[in-house]
Chains A and B, each alone.
Chain A
Amino acid sequence: MSLTSRHLLGLHGVPKEDIVKILDSAVSFKEVLDRPIKKVPTLQGKTIVNLFFESSTRTRISFELAQRRLSADIVNFAASTSSLSKGETFKDTARNIEAMKIDMVVVRHQSAGAPHFLSRIVDANIINAGDGRHEHPTQALLDIFTLREKFETLEGLHICIVGDILHSRVALSNIYGLKAMGVNVSVCGPATMIPREIEKLGVDVYHHIDDVIPKVDALNVLRIQLERQEGGLFPSLREYHNYFGVTRDRLDRADKPITILHPGPINRDVELSADVADSEHSVILQQVLNGVAVRMAVLYLLSQSKP
């Protein structure tokens, strides 16, 4: 069993069958995570490099755990610098890794397209763990997996992604993945944080959260990055919370419970009020566990691909 591509660079253009394969395979790996001994020999003898040019504790830990559970050998390479500063270039780093006979590379980078560039210069399977504001495919897959667990079927669901869509790799990957699975997708955020012509991706755009809440089954609430306020894209955190914050009050006005996802880490009482984050309709902690299972599935399936 393998996927159409030998890399996971993004969810753009990934066929539904591949997504289903990953989700189904993640179900089996999640069972492994429930066993007393949470380890399988699937990737024994394989070497994986986690190449993180941007710090992201959560994503790195999740990948690392997935790799350990699959018995792979791991090398972590963290660099806060890029080719902008002096020192080794991205290309040289990649070439060095290649020389060490690595099977897979998980890469996180500030520049959109960095994993694509990497896939052209090294032979290993490449997994995009977030490239700039472009894609973060494993995050979207774990979001979709979590939704499928909750709702059983994805077809016909309506999900709204809330927050800074412009700077979000999570939003784009979610849009591509969810649309492929037949989900209705909307986005909601301040007009300054909605990228141009996004409606051409087949999503509805909202600027008032109260307009969209009654229509959806789940909200995927994005983290507001505090530096965006400094960039002047919205006037204050206070105003953001008052107009876009997902609060108990707002959810109570809907006629059915609404599932809450968040890729973490949460700014409590900014994009999400504390009582909502901790409520029974929040699946935020399930997302964390599912992240490991989904990443195990991706690593396994890519390891099966032909070079």
Chain B
Amino acid sequence: MKPTILKNTHIIDPLQNLDKKADILIENGKITKIATQIQQTKDKTVVDLKGAVVAPGFIDMHVHLREPGYEHKATIATELASAVAGGFVGVACMPNTNPAIDDGSIVCYIKDQSEKTLNGLIDVYPIAAVTVNRDGKQITEMAELSEAGVVGFSDDGNPVGNAHIMRIALEYSKMFNKPIIQHAEEKSLTHDGVMNEGFVSTTLGLPGIPTIAEALMIQRDIMLTVYCGGKYHVAHLSTKLGLELIREAKRNGLPVTCEVTPHHFTLTEEEVRSFDTNTKMHPPLRTQEDVDAMKEGLSDGAIDVIATDHAPHSYDEKQVEYLYAPFGIVGLETAIGLSVSELVKPGVLTLAQMIEKFTVNPRRILNLPQATIKAGENACLTIFNPEEEWTVDIQRLKSKSKNSPFHGRKLFGKPVGVINNGRIMIG
């Protein structure tokens, strides 16, 4: 990377409480100077960012890369390209691959594949399974997996359903200070459900998933965390009921954190009326009351992180009857747009608060080094233009799969580029 001047940037760095317009000089992958005007010279590349926001590099802590095992849905290479297009410098990938990420060799495989992609521009942080083969019976070799570099543990796609196994996992993982990331769902209450249970499921004749299925599991897990410690993180929170439990737990000083997806703060179960299978996800889209609660939780800090639960499925897999379609949608490339449009524009969050939920908080939860915009620091940056309006076109998504319910939606907030590990990708 040639020395580069980023001209006319709007730096927002919540860690330093920094919000100012300046030029940034980057040399050998490091920020060497920040000033109102940096002199252009022949040996330097100049990129005029025309007032775009430059923030510490964004992390998506909930991504399904699908490789190994489901390369027809997505590969590490395609989804990292999707992450870059979405403005992320890092992703944490979920272990529901085939084989599952439940031993060190698979962690190594994923790290190798990631480093080969885009010259290592994107950091990939594997999350290992809580239990062997994600079947809920025996915890994985967490010590060795931690040494291999995993950042947390989750059986995502499934909950850790058995309370005893969850207790063991919380206790054992304490030794490495790694979070247990729970897909909170009491399965005995959801069995064949495909959408939120309530008036809409009643009128559509679709089997429902009650909100209490999420809340009950969170309730149980909070009790376990009180009893035996550990770091507990709730993946893709979707219900007001669950949020209230987390808020209360935080008030009591427990090490409990959570994330919400852009679709859960944007869409409601009303979308399912179309029977479009891109409205089918786990947890399901909920009610307006839940959507409002998610926004409130983001605003008051009860919700720490925005994560996408990026879940590619091939076109054919989604082109089936509603009951048989797989759960999940892609999210990396619409995350910034939805967050700016649904949260920043209506005043739910400031830009600085939004940025915090994409970088400071996920890095804290996963024990990753913080990125910060300061002379002498590595240049780890996400650049986006919050004022640019664009229209989602699924055909232009970089992800291998196009399963998004947001096709045709107008959004404010467009990713412009990322800089990380001495690599730059802009435009």
- A172 and B203 in contact, given A113-B322, A132-B323, A197-B198 (Cβ under 8 angstroms): yes
Closest partner residue, chain A, to B199 (CB atom): A197
Q: Say whether B289 faces chain A, with CB atoms less than 8 Å apart.
A: no
Contact code string B177-214 (vs A, CB < 8 Å = 1, else 0): 00000000000000000000111011111111000000
Contact code string B264-284 (vs A, CB < 8 Å = 1, else 0): 000000000011000000000
> Does B275 lie within 8 Å of A198, measured CB to CB?
no
> Does B324 lie within 8 Å of A83, measured CB to CB?
yes
Interface size range of chain B in the complex = 20 to 34
In angstroms, Cα B202 to Cα A200, docked, is 10
In angstroms, Cα B367 to Cα A223, docked, is 58
> Does B322 lie within 8 Å of A111, measured CB to CB?
yes
> What are 18 residue pairs bridging A and B, where the CB atoms are less than 8 Å apart in the complex?
A12-B203, A82-B321, A83-B324, A90-B320, A90-B321, A91-B319, A91-B320, A110-B321, A111-B321, A112-B323, A117-B321, A117-B322, A195-B201, A196-B198, A196-B201, A196-B202, A197-B198, A197-B202
> Which residues of A lie under 8 Å from residue B324 when comparing CB positions?
82-84, 111
Contact code string A37-48 (vs B, CB < 8 Å = 1, else 0): 000000000000
Contact code string A78-118 (vs B, CB < 8 Å = 1, else 0): 00001110000111000000000000000001111110110
In angstroms, Cα B198 to Cα A198, docked, is 9
Interface centre among B201, B275, B320, B324 (most CB of A within 10 A): B275
- State the Cβ distance, A110 to closest chain B Cβ, in Å: 7
> Which residues of B lie under 8 Å from residue A198 when comparing CB positions?
202
Closest partner residue, chain B, to A131 (CB atom): B205
In angstroms, Cα B206 to Cα A134, docked, is 7
Question: Which 5 A-B pairs rank lowest in CB-CB distance, beginning with the nearest?
Answer: A134-B205, A113-B275, A111-B321, A111-B323, A197-B199
> Which residues of B lie under 8 Å from residue A132 when comparing CB positions?
205-206, 323
- State the Cβ distance, A259 to closest chain B Cβ, in Å: 26
Interface centre among A114, A135, A201 (most CB of B within 10 A): A114
> Does A116 lie within 8 Å of B202, measured CB to CB?
no
Q: Say whether A295 faces chain B, with CB atoms less than 8 Å apart.
A: no
Chain B stretch 94-142: residues in CB contact (< 8 A) with chain A: none
In angstroms, Cα B319 to Cα A131, docked, is 17
> Which residues of A lie under 8 Å from residue B203 when comparing CB positions?
12, 172, 201
Q: Say whether A30 faces chain B, with CB atoms less than 8 Å apart.
A: no
Q: How many residues of A contact B (CB 8 A)?
A: 28
- State the Cβ distance, B67 to closest chain A Cβ, in Å: 24
Q: Say whether B316 faces chain A, with CB atoms less than 8 Å apart.
A: yes
> Does B205 lie within 8 Å of A172, measured CB to CB?
yes
> Does A196 lie within 8 Å of B199, measured CB to CB?
yes
| Additional A-B contacts beyond A196-B199, A196-B202, A197-B199 (12; CB < 8 A) | A12-B203, A111-B323, A113-B206, A113-B321, A117-B275, A117-B321, A117-B322, A131-B205, A132-B323, A196-B197, A197-B202, A201-B203
> Does B205 lie within 8 Å of A135, measured CB to CB?
yes
In angstroms, Cα B205 to Cα A208, docked, is 24
Q: Say whether A169 faces chain B, with CB atoms less than 8 Å apart.
A: yes
- State the Cβ distance, A195 to closest chain B Cβ, in Å: 4
> Does A83 lie within 8 Å of B202, measured CB to CB?
no
- State the Cβ distance, B337 to closest chain A Cβ, in Å: 26
Q: Say whether A6 faces chain B, with CB atoms less than 8 Å apart.
A: no
In angstroms, Cα B315 to Cα A91, docked, is 12
In angstroms, Cα B203 to Cα A196, docked, is 10
* Selected contact of B321 from candidates A109, A133, A169, CB within 8 Å: A109
* Selected contact of A133 from candidates B197, B198, B205, B319, CB within 8 Å: B205
> Which residues of A lie under 8 Å from residue B206 when comparing CB positions?
112-113, 132-134
- State the Cβ distance, A299 to closest chain B Cβ, in Å: 24
- State the Cβ distance, A52 to closest chain B Cβ, in Å: 14
- State the Cβ distance, A222 to closest chain B Cβ, in Å: 14
- State the Cβ distance, A290 to closest chain B Cβ, in Å: 24
- State the Cβ distance, A134 to closest chain B Cβ, in Å: 3
In angstroms, Cα B299 to Cα A248, docked, is 62
Chain A stretch 19-75: residues in CB contact (< 8 A) with chain B: none
> Which residues of B lie under 8 Å from residue A116 when comparing CB positions?
274-275
Closest partner residue, chain A, to B208 (CB atom): A196
- State the Cβ distance, B202 to closest chain A Cβ, in Å: 4
- State the Cβ distance, B33 to closest chain A Cβ, in Å: 56
- State the Cβ distance, B18 to closest chain A Cβ, in Å: 49
- State the Cβ distance, A191 to closest chain B Cβ, in Å: 14
Closest partner residue, chain B, to A109 (CB atom): B321
In angstroms, Cα B205 to Cα A112, docked, is 6
> Does B205 lie within 8 Å of A169, measured CB to CB?
yes
> Which residues of B lie under 8 Å from residue A109 when comparing CB positions?
321
Contact code string A179-223 (vs B, CB < 8 Å = 1, else 0): 000000000000000011110110000000000000000000000
> Does A195 lie within 8 Å of B202, measured CB to CB?
yes
In angstroms, Cα B319 to Cα A91, docked, is 7
In angstroms, Cα B324 to Cα A91, docked, is 12
> Does A134 lie within 8 Å of B204, measured CB to CB?
yes
> Which residues of B lie under 8 Å from residue A110 when comparing CB positions?
321, 323
- State the Cβ distance, B326 to closest chain A Cβ, in Å: 11
In angstroms, Cα B323 to Cα A197, docked, is 22
In angstroms, Cα B205 to Cα A133, docked, is 5
Closest partner residue, chain A, to B207 (CB atom): A133
Contact code string B319-335 (vs A, CB < 8 Å = 1, else 0): 11111100000000000
In angstroms, Cα B321 to Cα A134, docked, is 13
> Which residues of A lie under 8 Å from residue B208 when comparing CB positions?
196
* Selected contact of A112 from candidates B197, B274, B322, CB within 8 Å: B322
* Selected contact of A89 from candidates B199, B205, B275, B316, CB within 8 Å: B316
In angstroms, Cα B340 to Cα A196, docked, is 35
Closest partner residue, chain B, to A89 (CB atom): B320
> Which residues of A lie under 8 Å from residue B322 when comparing CB positions?
111-114, 117
Closest partner residue, chain B, to A176 (CB atom): B203
> Which residues of B lie under 8 Å from residue A117 when comparing CB positions?
275, 321-322
Closest partner residue, chain B, to A135 (CB atom): B205
In angstroms, Cα B139 to Cα A191, docked, is 40
- State the Cβ distance, B179 to closest chain A Cβ, in Å: 34
> Which residues of A lie under 8 Å from residue B205 when comparing CB positions?
112, 131-135, 169, 172
Closest partner residue, chain B, to A195 (CB atom): B202
